[in-house]
Structure 1
Amino acid sequence: MAPAPMPRARAPRVEHHVQFWSASVLLVAAMGLVVMPRPALAQARPPVPVTISAPVAADVPIYQSGIGTVQAFNTVKIQSQVDGQLQKIAFVEGQKVKAGDLLAVVDPSLFQAALDQAIGKTQQDQASLANAETMLNRDQQLGARDFASQQTVDTQYSTVQQLKAQILQDNAAVSRARSQLAYTQITSPIDGRTGFRLVDVGNIVHPSDVSGIVVVTQTQPISVISTLAEEALPAVRAAQKAGPVPVIALDKAGQKLADGTLALVDNEISAQSGTIQLKSTFANADEALWPGQYVQIQVLTDTIRTALTVPSTALQRGPDGMFVYVIDAGEVAASRPVRAGQISGGTAVIEAGLAAGERVVTSGQYRLAPGLKVETTSAAAGGGGASTPPAE
């Protein structure tokens, strides 16, 4: 008979006990983390570095913004008023000119001759009139003594009246000839700046020429034609009733170019675009505005007195609307819903939800959550407190 198999010895279960107790410890630790209060969790993290600022009460201007194009205050195409050869150009292209400055000269010789002829004809007729008046006086004396007939006296009287009428015509001819001669001296009718010369010396110019000699544009003052949304019209009309309405012109980058005033609101709203056109006037002393330039326009329609303001970077948008992070005395962050008004120029008006003296986070919010402890760095309070455009 074969010997009976020996029974196998059991291996110790130490490894299984170690694995079991390790899993139990991890489970208990995880449960501890789950039930650990959030403040305790916050205390376990290092403070979040943030920048803070305090709300500031300030007067905040309310602007209606639009886009516009700079337009010369006056534009004049300089043309000759008489036919003739262009004898002289008296300006330099791009030159600033005053009203009355000489710009060009048309050959005046023919017009001077016409004036001299008209003056000579006037003097001739004046001499004839003097002679006729002498003869009339003589005939009247002879007629009084019956040495001349009444018909002779009447005929001479008629001659005198005809010569007087002729002298009136002569004077008109002299005035016309003098005007024609003056037209050969072409002057600027306005203060402005010349453009490109459109004709050269030696050419024959005519009043009917389409191009003219040069175009003069007035840039001081200067105008801006702009558009606003039709919803802004009530605010603009109300501002007009209160007095002159300030207007600011900005370049494409938002840098201030000039200050002006509102001159005109168009008499109708465009049905196609739903906008209203405005015309503003700027002194433009430094000529920062140039005809044809694209600008942004801000029309000051109101000012909110002692409004509570914060830097616009403090505002965060959540599922329930706008909110800010407020830091309490213990340097712990809390989320606070707010109602924001105008946001402009890096500043936001807070209509509800904050009080003066509280501290709000202006940067570093991406790592922040309610209940977390923070390490604060102060910034300029309220961002200046005024929603003004960028300074020059």
Structure 2
Amino acid sequence: MVLITAVAVIGGAGLAVWYVGDTTAPAQAALPPPAVPVVAGTVESGNVPVYLRGMGTVVAYNNVIVQSQITGQIIKIAFIQGQTVKKGDLLAEIDPRPYQAQLDQAVATRDRDQAQLLNARADLNRYTALQQKGFATTQLVATQNAQSNQLQAQVKYDEGVIAQARTNLSYTRLTAPIDGVTGVRQVDQGNIITPSSANGLVDIAQIQPASLFFFLPQTDFVEIQQQMATGPLTVLAYSQDDKVKLDTGKLDLIDNQIVQTTGTIRLRASFPNAKRTLWPGELLNVRLLLDTRQGGLTIAGSAVQQGPQGSFVWVIGSDGTVQTRPIEVAQIDDGIALIDSGLQAGEKVVVDGQYRLQPGASIQELTGQAARGAQLQSSIEQEIP
């Protein structure tokens, strides 16, 4: 800047004196913007499981309603509701007296018919001997032989009646047909139970092993089928909040048709359920282990950002500045992103603090307690509307 000053008057005439001076101050150098504090992470390489996720419902491996095959009064209940039972355990007993009486009658009838059969055979032997000597007619022998055969058939019929009576008597003991857990008892002691009772005595559910039905998009069908051809696929069951792993099982069924209304395929997995963490009717998250990618590249899922052109990350250069780079993400599972393309192993990316970054900005990497504090603060700010 140039400053011009005019002063002084000498005598009567004015004499202007001009002083010209350069008052331009030296320009102050512009300060670089401060480094942005961020939390950084490294692109890792390793074996990465590839999962397909879905929702599923636990069902009993086998489910049986214990029905009575005869009509009678329940005189004994031998189980507690919710009890674990083994195959063959007594559950209830029906009054056996009417059926014991039927068995006794059938046995008595058979014994009578057997006695008559023995007598008829003895007469047949005598008549046959007399016929040979000419003292008995052929008609008499034939009639006795027919009577003997008739009584023999009657005894055989009696044996069938006895077998039926014994079977009915055995039905007075209601036993568990499978291993499992009993549900709510439907009939109390003293009541009459019949074969037509819709709810039977009790429901028994086999939960060890347990089954789980779940659905996945039909677009995954071909890949699942191809992987099943190489061996059984592992299925993981997680709690509904997806935080607790409950059990590990195997995929054993792909349904024989696509559900057209939803465009999904139904699958079934079996779990040993040794700790009984799976219960019939329970709604769970399911992860089907489709493959394990060898040498897969992974970063923290928080490093992945979304822009108009898709997914990208902030990559930290060797000079401490950042630039955006587009990437392709295969999956994000348990906070870890599997990268298909766009990064190389060993590169550094920003995993927290991206909201203050601009291309070319210098960064300050936070570590240790400072990094944990920055991540906590970032999560709090994201929760505040």
- TM-score, normalization: structure 2? 0.85
Q: Which residue pairs with 2:257 in the alignment? A: 268
Shift of 1:164: 0.8
Asked if the contact 1:225/1:280 (under 8 Å) is kept, the reply is: yes
Asked if the contact 1:326/1:333 (under 8 Å) is kept, the reply is: yes
Q: Which residue pairs with 1:130 in the alignment? A: 118
Distance in 2 between the 1:167 and 1:294 partners? Answer: 60
Distance in 1 between the 2:199 and 2:329 partners? Answer: 56
Distance in 2 between the 1:366 and 1:77 partners? Answer: 61
Q: Which residue of 303, 309, 312 corresponds with 1:314? A: 303
Q: Is the counterpart of residue 82 in structure 1 residue 82 in structure 2?
A: no
Structure 1 stretch displaced more, 109-118 or 148-157: 148-157
Q: Which residue pairs with 2:362 in the alignment? A: 373
Q: Which residue pairs with 2:32 in the alignment? A: 41
Q: Which residue pairs with 1:299 in the alignment? A: 288
SS of structure 1 residue aligned to 2:102: helix
Query: Identity, % of aligned pairs?
Result: 42
Alpha carbons of structure 1 residues 130 and 347: separation in structure 2 relative to 1, 3 Å: same
Q: Is the counterpart of residue 358 in structure 1 residue 376 in structure 2?
A: no
Shift of 1:111: 0.4
| Residue-pair matches, total | 347
Q: Which residue pairs with 2:41 in the alignment? A: 53
Q: Which residue of 128, 145, 150 corresponds with 2:133? A: 145
* 1:233-258, Cα deviation, whole Å (9 max, x unpaired): 11211122111121111111112111
Alpha carbons of structure 1 residues 120 and 25: separation in structure 2 relative to 1, 3 Å: farther
Q: Which residue pairs with 1:228 in the alignment? A: 216
Q: Is the counterpart of residue 340 in structure 1 residue 339 in structure 2?
A: no
Amino acid at match of 1:161: N
The equivalences for 1:87-166 within 5 A come to 87-166=75-154
Distance in 1 between the 2:259 and 2:316 partners? Answer: 49
Amino acid at match of 1:286: K
Distance in 1 between the 2:359 and 2:331 partners? Answer: 26
Amino acid at match of 2:179: D
Distance in 2 between the 1:107 and 1:330 partners? Answer: 91
SS of structure 1 residue aligned to 2:260: coil
Distance in 2 between the 1:266 and 1:25 partners? Answer: 84
Q: Which residue pairs with 2:377 in the alignment? A: none
Q: Is the counterpart of residue 178 in structure 1 residue 169 in structure 2?
A: no
Distance in 2 between the 1:377 and 1:129 partners? Answer: 105
Asked if the contact 1:239/1:245 (under 8 Å) is kept, the reply is: yes
More helix by share: 1
Distance in 1 between the 2:330 and 2:195 partners? Answer: 60
Q: Which residue pairs with 2:238 in the alignment? A: 250
Amino acid at match of 1:322: S
- TM-score, normalization: structure 1? 0.83
Structure 1's consecutive aligned runs of 4 or more residues displaced over 4 angstroms after TM superposition are none
CA RMSD of aligned residues (A): 2.2
Q: Which residue pairs with 2:9 in the alignment? A: none
Asked if the contact 1:247/1:299 (under 8 Å) is kept, the reply is: yes
Distance in 1 between the 2:310 and 2:164 partners? Answer: 78
Amino acid at match of 2:224: V
Unaligned regions of 5+ residues in structure 1, if any? Answer: 1-20, 34-39, 380-392
Q: Which residue of 231, 248, 256 corresponds with 1:259? A: 248
Q: Is the counterpart of residue 240 in structure 1 residue 213 in structure 2?
A: no
Structure number with greater CO (CA < 8 Å, separation at least 6) is 1
Shift of 1:148: 1.4
Amino acid at match of 2:59: Q
SS of structure 2 residue aligned to 1:41: coil
Shift of 1:162: 0.6
Shift of 1:181: 0.4
Shift of 1:82: 0.9
Amino acid at match of 2:358: A
SS of structure 2 residue aligned to 1:67: strand
Q: Which residue pairs with 2:269 in the alignment? A: 280
Distance in 2 between the 1:248 and 1:209 partners? Answer: 39
Amino acid at match of 1:213: L
Shift of 1:25: 6.9
SS of structure 1 residue aligned to 2:32: helix
Asked if the contact 1:53/1:378 (under 8 Å) is kept, the reply is: no
Shift of 1:337: 2.7
Distance in 2 between the 1:310 and 1:189 partners? Answer: 53
